[in-house]
């Protein structure tokens, strides 16, 4: 049995006109196979998944093509029969679990609901199976946590619940849209191992939509690369990573950060994916391609077969040429030696954070265990300290405590000295002055940017609050300089956050942090939700700023490839405590603790 997609076209009626989200899509997913669909945001990957499940938004429609499951045409099924297919035969894991879980139902009830809808189990048997699945996807104390509501879980835990809810129905096929984006490497490894074991046990087919090429390398049998609504390359996974043929594939692999590229710039792809409301006359990738030819501007390439079993949409291959691009691992700069130690800018010792319990008037408040327990770390001027660890280990809380965002919310003890001043003792004007010197970039730029403010207002409000000595003209000059520095056009000032891509919003967040000339920036997972090419642009920007302005970074992340590329020192955190710390190359090459070794062993690699 297989899912067959033939000549699929999807259109959306958008504000800017007709959006051709998918054009002439062909793919086949067999049981027991993992087929990866990769590409940048805006390429049509998620829209493909929604079309297969007949979950397109109201303004979307399939205008041409066929989607069959075991010979049954899904696009013509009545909705009553399609509901049985969704979940029972084809399950789906959505990218954003927070919007996929019912906020007024416990997580246990939601998993039970899925089990009872698609399997014969009922009552206690269904609840026992729900608890078992919560355990299998890594939810601690699953029997107790089954009574929790979604708001009581971290982002990674909500994603695990979504995975449990989908897999508990044991579907024949699974469409997974960025299923591990919010997970740390150990839980990601558990979930991927679980998906592999289910394929072996049940012969489940998996359509994996992701921008994490390392996950693709370890999971997929076949890979399809998508760009601007079209598939531009299809190949066996090993062939794709060994010898990518399309220029877009080649550039994506060169953009991946790792230790071999330390000291050099990543191969960021210039520009962005074009708007799909545009009228295309030639190759859609041509404006960003490093192999562009005159014909690319007016000749639309078709998907050409290449031996032994791959397809490429590129004019380079129209005369039967093959393997014209070098392997993506060539010409890597040597790993530079560690830099000399810099004078300390931030020194934290004995940091402990304990959230105050909230007891009702009939309940006695009980002390809570510390979220951060006796943390000690140091960051030099112009240096980067990477703080790594699993979800819930206290990384973000540590960053917020340093930036003074927990006052009135938690009990903070210990000492944090910034440029010789004790952060926890500052008040009034002295605290405002330090707030200008320490800034934070949050993981989700969309939720951290006021949707009612234009970019000009977002950048100016920090200057007004923390740089009152600047007049309006000086503020505007500063803002214009920031836009150019982070690679945004001048007309961006008059637009709102929702009008930008994820990578562009992250650039706005970085510009806002830089506006007040900070000496330290806490970067909380700033690239976790970004495409490979956009991530490369952001990492290049952060390195350039560090070299030019001597900015220091506390870089909170679970992406070890990013750590290898950008970090000078690493601190490994577990359950609120620092397990291990030291120079990045030493910790990565010779970890001293079992926990660090397990963390590094769980990291997926392209090669």
Instruction: Please indicate, yes or no, whether residues 163 and 22 belong to a single structural domain of this protein.
Output: yes
Residue 493 confidence (pLDDT) above 80 = yes
Residue 503 near residue 461 (C-beta atoms within 8 A): no
- For 280, the token pair is 């295309």
CA distance 215 to 377: 31
Tell me which of 204, 220, 236 is where a domain ends.
Answer: 220
Residues 6+ apart with CB under 8 A from 145: 107, 134, 139, 153
Residue 150 near residue 158 (C-beta atoms within 8 A): yes
- For 168, the token pair is 């508990």
CATH code for the domain of 359: 3.40.50.300
Q: How far is residue 555 CA from its own chain's centroid? A: 15
- For 592, the token pair is 């001293």
High-pLDDT (> 70) share of the chain, %: 92
- C-alpha distances (whole Å) from 428 to each of 405, 412, 434 are 15, 18, 10
Residue 570 near residue 558 (C-beta atoms within 8 A): no
Residue 263 near residue 569 (C-beta atoms within 8 A): no
State the sign of the Cα–Cα–Cα–Cα dihedral 35, 39, 40, 44: negative
339-391 pLDDT, tens per residue?
Answer: 666 788 999 999 999 986 655 544 455 557 788 999 999 999 999 999 998 87
Does residue 469 sit within a domain?
no
CA distance 37 to 227: 10
CA distance 533 to 269: 6
CA distance 276 to 43: 9
Tell me which of 220, 251, 269 is where a domain ends.
Answer: 220
pLDDT of residue 366: 56
More confident of the two residues 166 and 272 = 166
CA distance 554 to 176: 32
* 253-262, 449-458, 585-594: least confidently modelled range: 253-262
Tell me the sheet residues that pair with 13: 18
pLDDT of residue 246: 93
CA nearest neighbour of 395 among 360, 428, 357, 351: 351
Residue 458 confidence (pLDDT) above 50 = yes
Full-model pTM = 0.81
Residue 406 confidence (pLDDT) above 70 = yes
Does residue 290 sit within a domain?
no
Average pLDDT over residues 155-162: 80
Tell me the sheet residues that pair with 223: 36, 235
pLDDT of residue 601: 86
Residue 290 confidence (pLDDT) above 90 = no
For residue 200, how many C-alpha atoms fall within 13 Å in the half-sphere facing its CB? 7
pLDDT of residue 332: 44
- Dihedrals phi, psi of 527, to nearest 5 degrees: -120, 5
Interaxial angle between packed helices 472-486 and 532-549, expressed in degrees from 0 to 180 and rounded to the nearest 10:
130
Range of the domain at 135: 2-220
108 — pLDDT class (breaks 50, 70, 90): very high
CA distance 281 to 298: 5
354 burial via Cβ count (<10 Å: 0-12, 13-18, 19+): middle
Residue with tokens 């290449």, as numbered in its chain = 306
Tell me which of 181, 201, 220 is where a domain ends.
Answer: 220
Q: Where are the alpha helices (DSSP H) in 412-501?
A: 428-437, 445-448, 455-466, 472-486
Which range of 143-147, 193-197, 540-544, 546-550 scores highest in mean pLDDT? It is: 143-147
- For 572, the token pair is 């490994």
* 9-13, 14-18, 504-508, 521-525: least confidently modelled range: 14-18
Instruction: Please indicate, yes or no, whether residues 430 and 565 belong to a single structural domain of this protein.
Output: yes
pLDDT of residue 68: 93
pLDDT of residue 331: 43
* 246-255, 315-324, 477-486, 584-593: least confidently modelled range: 315-324
Does residue 254 sit within a domain?
no
Does residue 523 sit within a domain?
yes
Domains contained in the chain, number: 2
DSSP characters for 58-72? TTEEEEEEEEEETTE
* DSSP three-state, residue 37: strand
Does residue 509 sit within a domain?
no
Residue 329 confidence (pLDDT) above 50 = no
């Amino acid at each position: 049995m297989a899912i067959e997609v033939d000549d699929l076209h999807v259109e959306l009626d958008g504000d800017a006109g007709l959006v051709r989200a998918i054009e002439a899509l062909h793919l086949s997913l067999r049981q027991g196979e993992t087929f990866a669909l990769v590409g940048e945001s805006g390429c049509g990957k998620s829209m493909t998944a929604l079309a297969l499940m007949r979950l397109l938004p109201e303004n979307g429609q399939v205008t041409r093509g066929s989607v069959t499951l075991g010979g049954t045409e899904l696009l013509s099924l009545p909705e009553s029969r399609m509901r049985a297919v969704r979940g029972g035969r084809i399950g789906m894991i959505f990218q954003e679990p927070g919007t996929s879980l019912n906020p007024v139902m416990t997580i246990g009830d939601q998993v039970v609901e899925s089990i009872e809808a698609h399997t014969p189990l009922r009552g206690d048997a269904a609840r026992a199976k729900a608890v078992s699945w919560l355990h299998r996807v890594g939810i601690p104390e699953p029997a107790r946590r089954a009574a929790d509501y979604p708001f009581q879980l971290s982002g990674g835990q909500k994603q695990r619940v979504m995975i449990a809810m989908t897999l508990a129905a044991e579907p024949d096929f699974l469409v997974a849209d960025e299923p591990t984006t919010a997970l740390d490497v150990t839980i990601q490894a558990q979930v991927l191992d679980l998906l592999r074991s289910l394929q072996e046990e049940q012969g489940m087919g998996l359509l994996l939509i992701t921008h994490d090429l390392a996950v693709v390398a370890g999971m997929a049998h076949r890979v399809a690369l998508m760009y601007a609504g079209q598939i531009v390359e299809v190949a066996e996974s090993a062939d794709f990573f060994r010898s990518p043929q399309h220029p877009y594939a080649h550039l994506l692999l060169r953009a991946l950060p790792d230790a071999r590229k330390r000291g050099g710039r990543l191969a960021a792809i210039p520009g962005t994916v074009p708007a799909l409301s545009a009228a295309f006359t030639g190759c859609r990738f041509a404006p960003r391609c490093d192999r562009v030819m005159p014909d690319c501007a007016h000749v639309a390439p078709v998907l050409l077969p290449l031996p032994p079993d791959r397809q490429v949409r590129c004019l380079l291959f129209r005369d039967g040429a093959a393997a014209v691009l070098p392997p993506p691992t060539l010409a890597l700069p040597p790993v530079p030696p560690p830099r000399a130690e810099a004078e300390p800018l931030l020194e934290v010792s004995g940091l402990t954070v304990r959230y105050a319990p909230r007891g009702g008037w009939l309940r006695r408040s009980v002390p809570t265990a510390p979220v951060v327990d006796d943390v000690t770390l140091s960051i030099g001027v112009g240096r980067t300290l990477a703080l790594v660890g699993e979800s819930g280990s206290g990384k973000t809380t540590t960053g917020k405590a340093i930036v003074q965002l927990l006052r009135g919310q938690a009990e903070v003890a210990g000492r944090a000295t910034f440029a010789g001043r004790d952060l926890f003792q500052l008040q009034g004007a002295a605290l405002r002055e330090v707030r200008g010197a320490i800034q934070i970039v949050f993981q989700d730029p969309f939720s951290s940017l006021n949707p009612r403010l234009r970019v000009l207002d977002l950048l100016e409000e920090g200057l007004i609050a923390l740089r009152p000595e600047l007049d309006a003209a000086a503020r505007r000059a500063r803002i214009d300089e920031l836009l150019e520095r982070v690679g945004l056009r001048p007309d961006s000032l008059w637009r709102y956050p929702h009008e930008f891509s994820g990578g562009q919003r992250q650039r706005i967040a970085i510009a806002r942090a830089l506006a007040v000339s900070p000496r330290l920036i806490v970067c909380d997972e700033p690239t976790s939700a970004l495409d490979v090419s956009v991530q490369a642009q952001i990492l290049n920007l952060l390195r350039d700023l560090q070299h030019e302005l001597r900015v220091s970074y506390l870089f909170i992340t679970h992406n070890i490839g990013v750590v290898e590329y950008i970090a000078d020192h690493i601190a490994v955190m577990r359950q609120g405590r620092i397990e291990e710390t030291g120079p990045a190359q030493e910790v990565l090459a010779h970890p001293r603790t079992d926990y660090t070794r397990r963390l590094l062993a769980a990291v997926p690699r392209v090669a």
